[in-house]
Structure 1
């Protein structure tokens, strides 16, 4: 099929083609002809994802994604950098300053609806500013939103309009931070069209730039997310991912532990209270449906070996051979801290204890001053 006119899938941005089912943008000729007539042209991959939650891999390399992102440095634009409050480290695009050139940033912390009300929002903003400064980003401002529930999106839209001047707006971020969901909300506010762009929990849904005209001749542009191959979504099916990933406001769970006790977060992660004086309180902030199992530290290795995929789920037992091994990270706290399992949540721990967090190889475990 001739793609000189570059008809694009309105769901993922890929150039439509009818020749190769394994390449991005493929759609059967019958669907292509129907889509052209109705002006609703989705590729087969987006159609199946939207209607049947089926994800199909495509031959798009990391280099191709980076090449698309590199084009931003030659523009005059406002960059809206979307990060996941639950997975800041995993939200970082390495070398983002190089990709976007001298264009200014607005940092957006998504999934604010999941944060317990006991956590002060200004404290989260301060924390995001400190972390962004550490990686060399000086944002014009920081806003917290929930793209899924449309919380504070109208305020974000007003801020974008104030900051962009006569410039395009590029939405950037890694996969699964909620860029396309946010883009859909912004499109709805600007045009009234709902759910134009394909969204899912799976990485790499958007395959090319998706451009929406603004009312002053400039454009709102959704960019493909940089894929982090250590992301939990690469190792779980849709059912398990729904249990692992927070869906609703988190309800903190309190555990009183003696030194030498372990908590399993399903089969996905593990927390050890290695050493400390007296019984201590530990508060867990993870998805409300994720099973937490307590056992003795001395028995923990054996419990994990025997119960992985059975008592300790997710993941399902079918992942026994393919799921990455858990890697141990030990910390000694000097003040009240959060032990963070990037992408899952965190555990608030007291001062003056020795603890260990275990997570699948390639996924970060880190310590920070407590948010509460």
Structure 2
């Protein structure tokens, strides 16, 4: 923390303590006060009783003040703003914060063959698994474990770091239609696809900190793996829910340290490695680490206002289209799927993304005009047409897709930091996916097989963003028409001679 500049992160100004003689002013008691006992109004209380009760009250107040002082959590102005208002006061100062490099900061400890046992919790967001999964850290654990295992075979001391995959925010998926066993196997396969087949997982846990799902099982497993003196590191991308999960674990463990980690729907809330005390017991240590910045996620390029539109905060709902060759589906101004060629008449495309992001389905031949006229307006994010160029170059990736069922989605095309298209077909298709250069686009087996019971129609989806943009556009058009009429009226009045007299009307 620092107390030099309130505009910079970490500012903290110690509040002045209240005087021990401070007493809140009380309103005078009158005979009309119904909330005061009749005995107090009539003065029947004995003086000794009054003094005794007064002394007891002072003692209680003093003990409560002392307890509050001990349990009071000291936070900086930035954390206070995040906790109570959900945003930072100075977003421009966030660029001064250093990025956290887990490999450089914690990697040497994992690579050391001696010392306490290391356990790494690899956190991934259920609604953006491939974008949020910490691939580099998972690869580090896999390589280190392989090297230590070779040393152990030759009789050298070795401390094999272990990894546990934790899929957070499970409540965001349509859980009634999902089998936990299927999601478990799917997540394990995706983790190995991102980190390599050498990644050995000590366990896979599906949790929801908001609902408390799976938290106790995770805590018991972590305690078992960490032992009495182990070190546990929670690692994940920004806004994956690390601090929220660790607070849920602390509540589940019954920890009474009074420490709570700052939670906020703002990427990069945690700035440094924080030790969470009183959770694992004995001498084992649990650490919360800053969120990793993934440049391949779309959210890393968006402004705070744009991130609010993209972030999924409620259970995801499918939006399904029946689409033919030569048609396209936009997800805001961030992604576009073109159906270029089909061996069948049509296919089903289900969009899984934030409901705040508007969609549009139309002809591919009109895609360029859509980008020119509607990106930043009806199709947000980005917010504002100037932001379109700031996000980078618009590039295409091609995918050849095949399926054998009309009843369910057979594969996904996921856009990191945004969501995914679920594809359902019985035949083959050639698809083109457009998004900004550098954003990861991943073909994968389908996570959610279901689709909407009522299909979306051609054109813009029903959205507050679209309605707001339409009303603004209509207002601008109305202002232009009014200005033109005023200009015409003024030009006509200027053409009339000053000496001209009004015409005389003669009744027939």
User: TM class, shorter-chain normalised?
Assistant: 0.7 to 0.9
- Is 1:70 matched up with 2:107? yes
Q: Which residue in the other structure is 1:205 paired with? A: 269
Question: Equivalent residue for 2:462?
Answer: none
CA distance in 2, matches of 1:157, 1:189: 8
Shift in Å, 1:121 = 2.6
Q: Does 1:110 align with 2:184?
A: no
Q: 1:106: how far off?
A: 0.9
- Aligned residue for 1:251, secondary structure, equals coil
* 1:220 CA displacement: 1.6
Displacement of 1:97 after TM fit?
Answer: 4.4
Within the candidate set 379, 388, 397, 1:320 is matched to 388
- Match runs of 1:276-355 below 5 Å: 276=342, 277-317=344-384, 319-335=387-403, 336-349=410-423, 350=425, 351-355=427-431
Comparing 136-145 with 124-133, greater Cα deviation is found at 124-133
Asked if the contact 2:328–2:364 (Cα under 8 Å) also holds between the matched residues in 1, the reply is yes
Q: Which structure has the larger Rg over C-alpha atoms?
A: 2
- Write the distance in 2 (CA, Å) between the matches of 1:231 and 1:33: 46
Deviation at 1:231, TM superposition (A): 3.1
- What TM-score do the two structures reach when normalised by structure 2? 0.64
For residue 370 of structure 1, report the CA deviation from its aligned partner: 2.3
Show the counterpart of 1:12.
none
Determine the structure 2 residue equivalent to 1:272.
338
2:337–2:433 Cα contact (<8 Å) kept: yes
Q: Is the 8 A contact 1:269 1:326 kept in 2?
A: no
**Structure 1 residues 206 and 93: alpha-carbon distance in aligned structure 2, compared to 1, 3 A threshold:** farther
Partner of 2:48: none
1:129 equivalenced with 2:188 (yes/no): yes
Could you tell me how far 1:17 is from its partner in structure 2?
A: 2.5
| 1:254-313 C-alpha deviation (Å, 9 max, x unpaired) | 211111101111112111111112022222222233211111001011111110111112
Once residues 103 and 5 of structure 2 are traced to their aligned partners in structure 1, the CA distance between those partners, rounded to angstroms, is 23
The 3-state SS of whatever aligns with 2:127 is coil
Counterpart position of 1:139: 201
Moved more, 111-120 or 33-42: 33-42
Q: Compare 114-123 and 92-101 and name the one that shifted more.
A: 92-101
Separation in 2, partners of 1:187, 1:152: 14
Q: In structure 2, do the counterparts of structure 1 residues 174 and 36 end up closer, same or farther at CA, with 3 Å as the change threshold?
A: farther
Cα distance, 1:248 vs structure 2: 1.4
**Further displaced range: 294-303 or 223-232:** 223-232
**2-structure distance, mates of 1:69, 1:340:** 30
What's the secondary structure of 1:140's corresponding residue? strand
- Give 5+ residue unaligned stretches, structure 2: 19-67, 145-159, 404-409, 450-508
RMSD: 2.7
The structure where helix makes up a greater share of residues is 2
Alignment of 1:1-372 (within 5 A): 16-21=1-6, 24-28=9-13, 30-31=14-15, 39-55=72-88, 56=91, 57=94, 59-62=96-99, 66-70=103-107, 72-73=109-110, 74=112, 75-90=116-131, 91-98=133-140, 101=144, 102-116=160-174, 117-134=176-193, 135=195, 136-166=198-228, 167-190=230-253, 191=255, 196-214=260-278, 215-276=281-342, 277-317=344-384, 319-335=387-403, 336-349=410-423, 350=425, 351-371=427-447, 372=449
Contact residue 113 and residue 146 of structure 1 kept, 8 A: yes
- Deviation digits for residues 167-193 of structure 1, max 9, x if unmatched? 232211122211111111112223267
- 1:333 deviates by 0.9
After alignment, is 33-42 or 60-69 more displaced?
Answer: 33-42
TM-score by length of 1: 0.86
